[in-house]
Structure 1
Amino acid sequence: MYEFGIGVKQDMDSAYVCLKKASDLGNVYAMGNLVGHYYRRKLYTKAADLASRVAQFHDVPLLSNETGCLPGYISKGIALGCFYYARCLHEGHGVKKEPADAQKYYSKSYQYDPDVCARLQNITQHGVI
């Protein structure tokens, strides 16, 4: 909410604090959004590091049981992490440029949540990220 100013005044510092705390508590959706926060702030090494960890998650029902998060939001978090990791690999931001691996993670993002992937692809094509 703080990140985009939804219902509150936009505040990037508060957004970071909230996303970081939720991520530290194991919320996968918050982790995916924190990756986006890092990427948009051009903190590519941090973005690539966290995104690579989020992209390794695969058992959504198990994560849902462990964290109490809804499976749909876990899938969205993994999709966010995969897309931003693919973007880092594609552009060489924070990691070595690996176009073949980037394609794999773009596809993985789509498999977890096509809508998240489409939204991120759209803003990528329009130069937002």
Structure 2
Amino acid sequence: MLGRPKKLRKVLKEPDTKQFSPRGHRGRPGYNELKVEEIEAIRLIDHMGLKQTEAAKCMGISQQTFSRILRNARKVLAEALVLGRIIKVGGGDFKIAVLLILMAVVLSGCASIPIPSSIPIPNEIPIVSWFL
């Protein structure tokens, strides 16, 4: 019996930095993996100061799922910092929130909002499936 497929988490963009390494560590340190949706959770809560319910809505997931992602992200970061390990960023179950960026531009009435060049703008945006 197969489990339920994971719902893709919405992220604004993929992180520019893919790895963080400690300096002054002898030998080859191990590494911890931080998923893209985990770094997005850290960005929304710790960097932008959103509440968990708001951040969960931004990512299109339940508050309970968001809390689990955030808890895991903080565990990965804490372990890497305490043990002097490399943090590799990548992978996960996510999709780029192109529609949210385009909606912000339209609703603000300001086309001067910068859209990161790393975000691909598709010819067709499946608006209905985005909100399901």
> Whose RCO is larger (CA < 8 A, sep 6+)?
2
Q: Which has the larger radius of gyration?
A: 2
The structure carrying a bigger helix percent of its residues is 1
Give the shorter-chain TM-score range.
Answer: 0.3 to 0.5
With normalisation by structure 2, the TM-score equals: 0.34
The alignment's TM-score, normalised by the length of structure 1, stands at: 0.35
